Homo-oligomer: A and B are copies of this chain.
Amino acid sequence: MDISFTTAQISEIVKPISTRGSTTLPVRGIASLGEAQAGDLTFLGNPKYKPEVAATAASVVLLPADYDGEPKPDQLFIIVNNPSVAIAQLCARVEQLLWPKPAPGIHPSAIIEPGACVAASASIGPLCVIESGAVIGERSHIEAQCFVGRNARIGDDCWIKAGARIASECELRNRVRLQSNVVVGSDGFGYELVAGRHEKVPQVGNVVIHDDVEIGAGATIDRARFSRTEIGEGTKIDNLVQIAHNVIIGKHCLVCAQTGVSGSTVLEDYVVLAGQVGLGGHIRVGKGAVLTAQAGAAGDVPAGAKLKGTPGTPYMLEQRINILRQRLPELFQRVSDLEKQFKKSASA
């Protein structure tokens, strides 16, 4: 990462309320309070790190309005409304510098089958395959070695990273981001046992991914048995997640890494599934429900519930159980003692 911002450039991006002190160094890196060195910019995003501000070696520190300390020599404090938002704005600028929008056009090594339709403003990387009937929308950026199957549709301003596979008939709306090696539209896992053999149930539906969805590296989204598997607007899915056939995910959900959602399950809006969660098939998870890491649920989850453990249990109760289960040896002992005492007293 090779960046360099003057303090004037930073002020232009983060629009400070005020500043204290000054530095002569350009900013060449971004780091946490504890790790930052001279030439780095850092920020106070969480009040619990307040004590670290005085000790940081960073040249520039983004701080909230209520921070009342003073900078060291050759150090600049920039006071902003929300340091977390300010750092995101700066990172967005760095992102543009690191990954500038490629020039529109189709790399000569890409295979565009006759009947595919690529917008003139789109960019298709080397060694991509775009099959017949596929559509690539305005300004979408398809990196190297991606696959877009027959009749698949990719909307505007999408960013598809190297090696992603979008199978035939699937649809991505606008501003969808796929990380590398995502698979959209693999066959659902459906078989009927006939005479001792698992006969395949053909999976002839598709996948529809709505606006502003992001999907993490290596995640797999199965096509529907029929009709569609659907990922709602603004939902974010992390790496190595498995979404089975005919799952319907609502808007603005978060699905963390290595979680699996079984077939035909429905997530309403704003559901949060932490890492390694497992959901059974044909269940409904209500709006805003949260399942913590490694939780499992085989039945419906009410809106707003916060579940922990397998089977998913109300959070506070599961916390309590987790403490009490560690005391099981003691409890068995206490019951044995009672039994002995009772026996003794009964025979007395």
Contacts and interface: CB of A to CB of B under 8 A. Distances in A.
Contacts of A144: 111, 129, 131, 147
A342 interface: yes
A180 B222 CA distance: 11
A239 B241 CA distance: 10
A281 to B, nearest CB: 9
Given A109-B111, A342-B338, A94 B329 contact: no
B227 A30 contact: yes
A17 interface: no
A314 to B, nearest CB: 9
B234 A198 contact: yes
A216 B186 contact: yes
A210 interface: no
A313 B323 CA distance: 11
A91 interface: yes
Contacts of A226: 29-31, 91, 94
Nearest to A322: B311
A92 B346 contact: no
B239 A242 contact: yes
A211 to B, nearest CB: 11
A97 B217 CA distance: 31
A318 to B, nearest CB: 9
B189 A162 contact: no
A126 interface: yes
Contacts of A338: 335, 338-339, 342
Interface residues of A, number: 115
Given A220-B216, A242-B257, A161 B167 contact: yes
A345 B189 CA distance: 61
Given A163-B147, A326-B317, A335-B331, A220 B222 contact: no
Contact of A191 (B254, B313, B322): B254
B257 A275 contact: no
A188 B56 CA distance: 25
A65 interface: no
A179 B183 contact: yes
A35 interface: yes
B111 A1 contact: no
A71 interface: no
Contact of A293 (B167, B183, B187, B280): B280
Given A192-B84, A298-B293, A260 B276 contact: yes
B276 A278 contact: yes
Interface in A291-348: 293-294, 296, 298, 309-311, 313, 317, 320-322, 324-329, 331-332, 334-335, 338-339, 341-342, 345-346
23 contacts: A1-B206, A30-B204, A88-B199, A91-B203, A91-B225, A94-B226, A98-B168, A109-B111, A129-B162, A144-B147, A161-B165, A165-B181, A183-B218, A198-B236, A198-B252, A198-B254, A238-B242, A242-B257, A276-B278, A293-B296, A325-B325, A331-B331, A334-B339
Given A183-B239, A331-B335, 4 more contacts: A94-B202, A127-B145, A309-B310, A341-B346
